[in-house]
Amino acid sequence: MKLGPRDAPAFLARPDLTRTGILIFGPEAERIAQRRRALALTVVGPQGVEDMRLERLSGADLRSDPARLSDAMKAQSFFPGPRAVVVEDATDGLAKMLTPVLEDWREGDAFLIFTAGQLTARSALRKLFEGARNAYALAVYSDPPGRAEIEAAIAKVELSVSGEALNDLTARGRTMPEGDFAQFLDKLSLYKRGDAEPLTTLEIAELAPQAADGEVDELVAAVANGAASQIGPAMMRLRAQGTNPTTLCIGMTRHFRQLHAGAGAGGRPEDALGRLRPPVFGLRRDAMAAQIRAWGVPRLERALTTLTDADLTLRSASKAPQEAMLERALIRIAMMRPRG
């Protein structure tokens, strides 16, 4: 049976062990591995490995010795508790030998966790799990996680979050790599242990991992805040890191387009920023709202025109020094912002 994205978070949090197992497949190995680890831990518990109730196999293991899977599924542990068999890097070539394993499964046998890379709709392995009445097939694509998935991850680490802080975490969960976001939630959970007060946006900002493009964010803030004197030093640091001028121009344009969208939406800038896709929350939203109020639509349009011209020059055959040209353009933009 197919396990849809809406039902997946609930199943992964509380798997139905009266089913044979699940096939998890998709193009991103990290996301597949994260779900595999979490599901295996949920099935066997924290002592499962020590109690020898978790067995790991690879597709290569089964190709060389097909009987190993059936033996692992029927094996009995010396310790009580559910067992799981994890098979990584599965391929269509295993579908034929897997069919009798699914048919012969009985309650009390191990729970089967199969993982594979991208599988087409014609895949024999995918068809086998999708057509089985006692097993699931879960496709994991590169789309950002939904709110339900993020809230399930937050609940798993027992964080007390609501209101603006929840919106902030949701926005971060949709933009951060899944493994990084899971580590960030663990960090927040440890920080709030013993603290009955709900998590705040300020705590999220203080504990958030420093992104690799933090210097880019500083440059964007300097331009948007009209701090022309900070642009040169920021450009020097980015140049030393080997950052491409075109990349800087793209990031700057994206920020000013968000400001322009928020300014043109009418009403409170904070509300407009919250309706963007992806939405902006927390301290970043407050900073951008202040920038919108200071700039206004006409100046933001002039800034975007200057950035468009700079981008065209960077992509052209011009022999002008790219870093110097972009730095002058950014200083001109910063000086457009009204003082005071």
State the DSSP string of 111-159: EEEEEES---TT-HHHHHHHH-SSEEEEE--SSPPPHHHHHHHHHHTT-
Give me the pLDDT at residue 238, please: 85
Structural domain contains residue 1: no
Strand partners, 111: 84
Give me the pLDDT at residue 214, please: 64
Report mean pLDDT in 10-residue bins for the chain, 340 residues. 87 91 90 89 91 91 91 89 94 93 92 94 94 93 79 86 85 79 88 88 80 73 93 87 85 92 88 82 85 94 95 85 93 90
Determine the 3-state secondary structure of 6 from DSSP: coil
Structural domain contains residue 2: no
Strand partners, 24: 115, 138
- The total of structural domains in the chain comes to 3
Instruction: Say if residue 87 is in the same domain as residue 203.
Output: no
Give me the pLDDT at residue 181, please: 85
Instruction: Say if residue 80 is in the same domain as residue 202.
Output: no
Instruction: Say if residue 222 is in the same domain as residue 164.
Output: no
Final residue belonging to a domain, choices 166, 185, 207: 207
Instruction: Say if residue 103 is in the same domain as residue 200.
Output: no
Instruction: Say if residue 16 is in the same domain as residue 135.
Output: yes
Give me the pLDDT at residue 212, please: 47
Task: Tell me the C-alpha distance between 281 and 271, whole Å.
Answer: 10
State the DSSP string of 85-124: EEEEEE-GGGHHHHHHHHHH--BTBPEEEEEES---TT-H
Instruction: Say if residue 191 is in the same domain as residue 221.
Output: no
Structural domain contains residue 339: no
Instruction: Say if residue 159 is in the same domain as residue 89.
Output: no
Instruction: Say if residue 226 is in the same domain as residue 306.
Output: yes
Strand partners, 139: 25
Structural domain contains residue 301: yes
Final residue belonging to a domain, choices 162, 188, 207: 207
Q: Which residue has the tokens 């493009």?
A: 213
Domain that holds residue 220: 214-334
Structural domain contains residue 3: no
The CA–CA distances, whole Å, from 133 to 1, 20, 86, 103, 260 equal: 6, 9, 20, 10, 52
Instruction: Say if residue 202 is in the same domain as residue 218.
Output: no
The CATH number of whichever domain residue 220 belongs to comes to 1.20.272.10
Flag whether the pTM goes above 0.85: no
Final residue belonging to a domain, choices 89, 120, 139: 139
Instruction: Say if residue 18 is in the same domain as residue 107.
Output: yes
Instruction: Say if residue 104 is in the same domain as residue 186.
Output: no
Give me the pLDDT at residue 119, please: 92
Instruction: Say if residue 201 is in the same domain as residue 218.
Output: no
Q: What does residue 136 show for φ and ψ, rounded to 5 degrees? A: -120, 155
Strand ranges of the sheet holding 135-139, from the earlier edge strand across to the other edge: 54-58, 84-90, 111-116, 21-25, 135-139
The CATH number of whichever domain residue 60 belongs to comes to 3.40.50.300
